[in-house]
Structure 1
Amino acid sequence: MHHYEVFGLQVSSEIELDEVPIGVGGDVWIRKGEVHRPNQATFENDVYAIEEQLFYLHIPEVGRFQVENGQTITVDPYPDATTEQLKLYLLGSCLGCLLHQRQVVPLHGSVLDIEGHGLLITGQSGAGKSTIANAMIDRGYPFVTDDVAAIAFKEDVPYVHLAYPSQKLWEDVVTRWEIETTRGVTRQVEGRTKFSVVRQQAFAKEMVPLQFIFEVSPVQDLTDVQMCHVTGIEKIKTLLTHTYRNKLLVHLRPHESYLQQIMRIASHIHVFRIERPIGIPLEQQICDMMLEQLHVKV
Structure 2
Amino acid sequence: MSEPDVLVQRATVPLPYTPEQEHGLNWRVDGADVLFRVPGIVRFLIAGGRQVEFELEASGRDDDVVPFFLSTVVGVLLHQRQRLVLHASAVSFKGQAIAICGPSGVGKSTLAAALCEAGCSFVSDDVSVIHTATAGRPLVIPDGRQHRLWADSVERLSLNDRQGAAVRASLQKFHVDPASEGQPVPVPLQAIVVLREARGAHRPGLVQLSSADAVALLRNDVFRGLFASRLGRDAQLFVQIAALLGQVQVFRLDRHADFARLGDDVRLVLGCLESAK
CA contact (8 A) 1:181 1:198 kept: yes
Aligned pairs for 1:92-171 (under 5 A) are 92-153=71-132, 154-171=134-151
1:54 aligns with 2:37: no
- Compute the TM-score of the two structures, normalised by the length of structure 1: 0.84
- Change in Cα spacing, 1:256 to 1:116, as seen in structure 2 (3 Å) is same
Query: For 1:238-297, what per-residue CA distance to the aligned partner results, in whole angstroms no more than 9, with x for missing partners?
Result: 210110012332202332222111111111111011113435442210110111221133
Mapped to 1, the partners of 2:26 and 2:147 lie a distance apart of: 25
Q: CA deviation at 1:181?
A: 2.6
238, 241, 254: which one aligns with 2:217: 238
Q: CA deviation at 1:219?
A: 2.9
CA contact (8 A) 1:104 1:152 kept: yes
Higher strand share: 1
Match of 1:12 in 2: none
CA contact (8 A) 2:167 2:173 kept: yes
Q: What is the aligned length?
A: 274
CA contact (8 A) 2:208 2:250 kept: yes
Unpaired segments ≥5 residues, structure 2: none
Q: CA deviation at 1:40?
A: 7.4
Unpaired segments ≥5 residues, structure 1: 4-23
Mapped to 1, the partners of 2:259 and 2:20 lie a distance apart of: 44
Q: Mean Cα displacement is larger for which, 270-279 or 103-112? A: 270-279
- Change in Cα spacing, 1:281 to 1:131, as seen in structure 2 (3 Å) is farther
Between the two proteins, what is the percent identity of the paired residues?
A: 23
CA contact (8 A) 2:122 2:178 kept: no
Q: CA deviation at 1:36?
A: 0.7
Match of 1:6 in 2: none
Mapped to 2, the partners of 1:205 and 1:185 lie a distance apart of: 24
Q: Mean Cα displacement is larger for which, 228-237 or 29-38? A: 29-38
1:181 aligns with 2:162: yes
CA contact (8 A) 1:35 1:76 kept: yes
CA contact (8 A) 1:42 1:251 kept: no
- Change in Cα spacing, 1:127 to 1:254, as seen in structure 2 (3 Å) is closer
Match of 1:15 in 2: none
Query: For 1:45-92, what per-residue CA distance to the aligned partner results, in whole angstroms no more than 9, with x for missing partners?
Result: 222111111111111232111110111011212354344431111110
- Compute the TM-score of the two structures, normalised by the length of structure 2: 0.90
